[in-house]
Every structure is written in structure tokens, then in C-alpha cells.
Amino acid sequence: MTSILGISAFYHDSAAALIVDGRIVSAAQEERFTRRKHDPDFPAQAIAYCLREARLEPKDLDYVAFYEKPLLKFDRLLETYFAFAPAGLASFRQAMPVWLRNKLYMRRKLKTELRGAKQAKFIFTEHHESHAASAFFPSPFDEAAILTIDGVGEWSTATLGMGEGNRIQLLREMKFPHSLGLRYSAFTYYCGFKVTSGEYKLMGLAPYGKPQFTDLIRKHLLDLRPDGSFRMDMAYFNYCQGLTMTNERFHRLFGGPPRSPELPIEQRHMDLAASIQVVAEEIIMSMARELHRLTGKKNVVLAGGVALNCVANGRLLREGPFSNLWIQPAAGDAGGALGAALFAWHQLLEKPRQTGQSDSQSGSFLGPQFSDKEIENALTLRDLPSQRFEDEAALLKLVVDAMSDGKVVGWFQGRMEFGPRALGARSILGDARNPAMQSVMNLKIKYRESFRPFAPCILRERAADYFDIQPETESPYMLLVAPLLKEHRLPLSEAQGNTMAHDPDLRQRVNIPRSGVPAITHVDYSARIQTVDEARHGRLYRLLKMFDQHTGCPMLVNTSFNVRGEPIVCTPQDALKCFLATDMDLVVLGDFVVDKKQMAHLPSAAEKAEHLAAFQPD
Ligand SMILES: [Fe+2]
């Protein structure tokens, strides 16, 4: 038996993954255990969980694979700072102690933290190798082209490669500072959102805008070449030498200083979001064309933070040049832990790889699960009245009725998801047809204001009835955006059209029903879809099936089980805490249901506020 532990740490979203004889046994992000979002520290608890799942101890490990080469990265930092000295000195001084402490001595740190792993050999893979391995090895394809794009690894910011059988090969790379990820982040920063977590918001803002800055971006910021590579004019950016992403020259070009987060979003910001989205898609499409020319493969696999740009993914699938697409659900750096471990097994140990009908990611349900006993204990601890259902059909019927009635339901089932999305194991569900659902879920459950609609989960076999996708397309990881079919769109009245075009409050715009499923329909009629099938999703599939039978609607709103700024819940205790701190009506944990209606004492406003105060808004 060979056990390999993969680790990503010390940058953003630390994680661990364990593979035993090539099978992915467990994977989880550290934030879920420490309850600190995007926790970058050494993933001690995630590692402990991964080993526990396989009933192993550190001494049983044969290999520990770390997702990047610390010295290569240190080298890039030094070179960058020297190239920009003395302008870069301030940020150099600020960044260096952290780097010295965590990165340069990473090998030593890993060994101390894992001192129990006495037999294990330590392996360091390159950052983009880890991403590429995480994209190809778990995919259902024997052969595929590989595209990885993110902010920055050691030196590479994007790589084109291919995988065949049990081997991957990187063919081309783009190097720092020319980076699609960092440029997208620069616009994220400029539009007043948080870098590395606000990119989603920028993508969600794009449908409100017109892409009228694309020419300006192409002319000044970017030299895009026919082979998909590009150079950026670094005179407009500040991320090499400073502590911000953009500089004065950038601000002059786009007509003002960066938006500070508390100021309103103006049309200019929406147009910028639309413009950078168009340019990002252009770059991704031209990289894909070049990759297709280089490899001649009909399949493509994606990873790296930019692979979470679901709008670009949807376009790539619709417009080619590839016929099939698979995306690593933990596309960001957390997935690097899985990639590093798989790289060690297939590429370094030369172990064969088998592909089948499905991928080997198991729906990305790779985290901890909890027994009935553990759930019962958590309920007793909080003294909550609950009902236990032996009969699944009766449980599902109760949930279907509650949701049709406008209730919001916490849904806690089986193993926790690996990756940033809730996929039906730690989710909050509601009726997508309900016109109030978008604002209820945002204000009363998430405690945030949002101009973005929610994402739907939909029966796989019914997805093409609603969205412009091929009947065989699946999106089990919620990584594709697709347009709602014309026959489901509602015409707007003149007044609604006016609101849609001009209302400065974007929530007024998003709340105008544009379809029979308004909670999940964006202002441009797009939706980020998760297809649900019985093999991967079990009980969630059966819930959707029953909801469809009763209402004729095969989809539900599926959002993550948390409040704003909180990592997705992991344990039954986390779930109950979050349930009590919000206006969620019901929570279903395994076979147990807690209904707020049956509770004698509801939590006070002060108790709710206390939970919220533990987390920083994104
Ligand atoms: Fe990365």
C-alpha cells in the first residue's frame, strides 16, 4: 500500500489531500476546521482529518508532496524586488519577514510539523505542475489538452500542456509579471472589491455593464499575440513594486481613483467589469485555440484560479475548439494539494491510470461526514427539538412542501465538499420560482446586500430544457454559466425596462423577475448551473425529483451553508450555530429535521449578532 499526502499552504486557502494506491481518499481546506476563511497557515487540522479518514497515522505515510517549490518562488520575489528597487523597497521590507519565516524554511517547517512521518519522502512539485495534475489526473479523459491559468505560481502565470494516460507534459508557459489572473485582480481592486475573493463579484457585475473600455484596455494595457500569449504594459500596474495593484497612470486612463468599498457602484465600474470580462474571455479563447493547434486533442481540462471564471468556461464549451471540457472543482490553490499527490503517484512513481465513464473526483465530496449519533449529540447539546425520519420519502416530502411554501432550508448531508462551492452537502436550498427568494436569502440568511442572483442546482436530465447547453452536458461542480432558453424569459414592462437600464440600486434591477425562476436568473438571463445526478448526488437528486413532480420545476436555489465571510460549515455544530444565527426556517442534518416553528425560544438579535461578528465581510 502506498500513501501520499498532498499539501498546499502558506499563500491562500491551505489544504490537504490523501491518495492511497492512486485512489483519492480525502481532501479538505483548512478554513473549514479553523473557521478562518481562506486560512493560509499550515493545514494541521486538514491533514489530521485526511489521515483519520483513511485510518492512517503520520508514520504510515510514504510520501508527502508539497504543491510548489519554495526556492523558485523566493527567487522570483528577489528578482522582482531588485528589478524595481528602490521603488519596491517598502513592500520588500514588509513582505520579506513573512517569506523568510514561512517560505524559505518551508522544508524545515514541513518536516517539523510532520515529524511523525518518519518514513516519508518529501517531494516538491512546481505550482503549475500541481494545477495541471489536478486538472488532468482526476478527469474522465485518457487524453486531453491542459490549460492552467492563475495569478502567479513560482514564475509561471499560465501554462499550456497535455496529458496522455498517466503522464502530463507542460509545453508552454507565460511568466510573471504578465498574468491574466493578476490583471483581473487589478480590476477587481480598482472597482472596490477584495483581491482574491472579490473576483466573483466583478464577474457578477459584468452583465450590468457595456464593454466600452475594451479598446482602451487592448491599446494601453495589453499586447495580445495570435498564439494566445500577451505582454502587459507594466507602467500601469503596481503589483511588482508596491502594495496596491494599480497606479496613478492606470487611474488616469480609466477616469478616476479606485472605488472605495463603501462608495456606490457607478456605471463606469459596471462597464469596466464588462470590459475586463470580454478581454479575459478573448485571451482564454485564443490560448485555447493555440493549445488545440499544439496538441490536436478533442478534450481540454482546466485548473488555476482563473478556471473559476464560469462565464469564460461556458463560452469555451459553446464555441470550441474543444468538444469536451473538465474543470478541477478545487481549481484554486487548495486543489494544488490534490494535484501534487497525484503527480507523485502517476508521474514520479509511474503508476498506471484508469479512466472510466465518470471522473475520479467523487462529486468532490471528499471531506468529513458525521454519523447519526454525532448529529444527535449536537442536537442534544443545544437542546433543540428535532424529528427523525426513518422514511426518506416522508423527509423529502416535508422539505418539498416547506420550500414550495417559501421556506429556506439548510441541507447538511454526507461528506463535505472539497473546493469553494457548496454542491449539496453543505448547502442552503430554496424555491427558485419565488420572486422574494434572492433578497430573503441575501438579507435574512447571508446578511449581505447583493446584486448577484443565486446559482441553481437542476436535475441533469432536465437541464437542457431550461438552459442553452447540449443534452449530454454535465456541470456537477457548478463551474459553467449558460443562458436561459428564450421560451423561459419574461418580457419586461416599460417601467421595468427603465429600472433595469437606469436604477442606481442594482438590487432593484436584479429583483425584477425576468423568468419563471427569478432567483437564479441574472440580468443578462445567464445562470451558473450545477447539474445533479443520482450517482453523485444521491439524496439531493431524489429531493429535486420530488420537487419537480410536485411543482413542475426541476431546480432549486443552491447556495453555500454560511453567513457572509464565514467558511462553509463543516460539522453539525457549525451548521446548527449558523442555522440559529440566521432566519433559516428548517435545517435537515442527515435524517434529522429541526424546524424553528417548533422551538420554544428563538435566538435573540444579540445572539445572532455575536455569530456574525466572528467573520469579516468579504
Ligand atoms: Fe495557483
Among 243-257, 274-288, 402-416, which range has the highest average pLDDT?
Answer: 402-416
Confidence of residue 360 (pLDDT cuts 50, 70, 90): very high
How many A from CA of 127 to the centre of ligand 1?
6
Residue in 191, 193, 221 with CA at minimum distance from that of residue 209: 191
DSSP characters over 145-202: EEEEE-S-SSSEEEEEEEEETTEEEEEEEEETT--HHHHHHHHHHHTT--TTTSHHHH
| Position with higher pLDDT, 554 vs 261 | 554
How many A from CA of 124 to the centre of ligand 1?
15
Lowest mean pLDDT among 3-17, 190-204, 427-441, 515-529: 190-204
pLDDT at 75: 53
C-alpha cell at 70: 519554495
DSSP code for 25? E
How many A from CA of 332 to the centre of ligand 1?
6
- Which three-class secondary structure state does DSSP give residue 74? helix
How many A from CA of 126 to the centre of ligand 1?
10
Are the C-beta atoms of 429 and 442 separated by less than 8 Å?
Answer: no
How many A from CA of 610 to the centre of ligand 1?
34
How many A from CA of 226 to the centre of ligand 1?
25
Q: Which amino acid is at 618?
A: D
How many A from CA of 343 to the centre of ligand 1?
15
Confidence of residue 71 (pLDDT cuts 50, 70, 90): low
Q: For 339-357, how does the pLDDT look when each residue is reduced to its tens digit (9 = 90+)?
A: 999 999 999 999 999 998 8
How many A from CA of 350 to the centre of ligand 1?
24
Lowest mean pLDDT among 160-164, 189-193, 236-240, 261-265: 236-240
CA triple 169-172-176, angle to 5 deg: 125
| Position with higher pLDDT, 606 vs 162 | 162
Q: Please state, in angstroms and rounded to a whole number, the distance separating the CA atoms of residues 316 and 298.
A: 13
- The yes-or-no verdict on residue 292 having pLDDT over 90 is yes
| Position with higher pLDDT, 93 vs 31 | 31
How many A from CA of 26 to the centre of ligand 1?
20
How many A from CA of 151 to the centre of ligand 1?
6
475 phi and psi angles, rounded to 5 deg? -140, 65
How many A from CA of 97 to the centre of ligand 1?
22
- The yes-or-no verdict on residue 48 having pLDDT over 60 is yes
How many A from CA of 466 to the centre of ligand 1?
34
Rounded to the nearest integer, the mean pLDDT of the chain is 88
Q: Please state, in angstroms and rounded to a whole number, the distance separating the CA atoms of residues 111 and 528.
A: 42
How many A from CA of 15 to the centre of ligand 1?
13
How many A from CA of 424 to the centre of ligand 1?
26
Lowest mean pLDDT among 11-20, 97-106, 226-235, 306-315: 97-106
DSSP code for 416? P
How many A from CA of 547 to the centre of ligand 1?
39
Chain-centroid distance of CA 245 in Å reads: 22
Pairing of strands 324-327, 299-303: parallel
Residue found under cell 472543482:
329
How many A from CA of 239 to the centre of ligand 1?
17
pLDDT at 82: 47
pLDDT at 87: 45
3-state helix, strand, coil in the chain (%, to 5): 40, 20, 40
How many A from CA of 304 to the centre of ligand 1?
5
The burial of 137, by beta-carbon neighbours within 10 Å (0-12 exposed, 13-18 middle, 19 or more buried), is given as buried
How many A from CA of 372 to the centre of ligand 1?
38
How many A from CA of 539 to the centre of ligand 1?
33
- The yes-or-no verdict on residue 296 having pLDDT over 70 is yes
Q: Please state, in angstroms and rounded to a whole number, the distance separating the CA atoms of residues 609 and 581.
A: 7
Query: What is the rounded average pLDDT of the residues 128-145?
Result: 96
pLDDT at 242: 60
How many A from CA of 323 to the centre of ligand 1?
26
How many A from CA of 251 to the centre of ligand 1?
28
How many A from CA of 612 to the centre of ligand 1?
30
Our CA dihedral for 549, 555, 560, 565, rounded to 10 degrees, sits at -130
Pairing of strands 156-164, 167-175: antiparallel
Are the C-beta atoms of 587 and 412 separated by less than 8 Å?
Answer: yes
Q: For 563-594, how does the pLDDT look when each residue is reduced to its tens digit (9 = 90+)?
A: 999 999 999 999 999 999 999 999 999 999 99
| Residues in CB range of 193: below 8 A, 6 or more apart | 199, 201, 202, 261
Confidence of residue 313 (pLDDT cuts 50, 70, 90): confident
How many A from CA of 135 to the centre of ligand 1?
12
- The yes-or-no verdict on residue 529 having pLDDT over 50 is yes
Q: Is 135 left (phi over 0), alpha (psi -120 to 50) or beta?
A: alpha
How many A from CA of 9 to the centre of ligand 1?
11
Residue found under cell 492512517:
56
How many A from CA of 254 to the centre of ligand 1?
28
DSSP code for 383? T
- The yes-or-no verdict on residue 147 having pLDDT over 90 is yes
How many A from CA of 334 to the centre of ligand 1?
8
Neighbours of 59 (CB within 10 A): 10
Lowest mean pLDDT among 91-105, 130-144, 505-519: 91-105
How many A from CA of 152 to the centre of ligand 1?
6
How many A from CA of 429 to the centre of ligand 1?
31
Confidence of residue 275 (pLDDT cuts 50, 70, 90): very high
DSSP code for 307? G
Q: For 177-222, how does the pLDDT look when each residue is reduced to its tens digit (9 = 90+)?
A: 667 777 788 888 889 888 777 888 888 899 899 999 999 888 888 8
Are the C-beta atoms of 526 and 483 separated by less than 8 Å?
Answer: yes
How many A from CA of 153 to the centre of ligand 1?
5
pLDDT at 94: 53
- The yes-or-no verdict on residue 537 having pLDDT over 50 is yes
Q: Please state, in angstroms and rounded to a whole number, the distance separating the CA atoms of residues 338 and 135.
A: 10
How many A from CA of 507 to the centre of ligand 1?
33
Q: Which pTM value belongs to this model? A: 0.90
- The yes-or-no verdict on residue 154 having pLDDT over 60 is no
- The yes-or-no verdict on residue 554 having pLDDT over 90 is yes
Q: Which amino acid is at 154?
A: E
| Position with higher pLDDT, 233 vs 382 | 382
- The yes-or-no verdict on residue 240 having pLDDT over 70 is no
DSSP characters over 447-477: ----SSPPPEEEEGGGHHHHBSS-TT---TT
Element (H, E) at 525: none
Q: Please state, in angstroms and rounded to a whole number, the distance separating the CA atoms of residues 327 and 478.
A: 10
How many A from CA of 7 to the centre of ligand 1?
13
603: cis peptide before it, omega within 30°? no
Residue 164 to residues 299, 347, 615, Cα–Cα distance (Å): 11, 11, 44
How many A from CA of 335 to the centre of ligand 1?
9
Residue 253 to residues 216, 237, 259, 408, 420, Cα–Cα distance (Å): 8, 12, 14, 45, 34
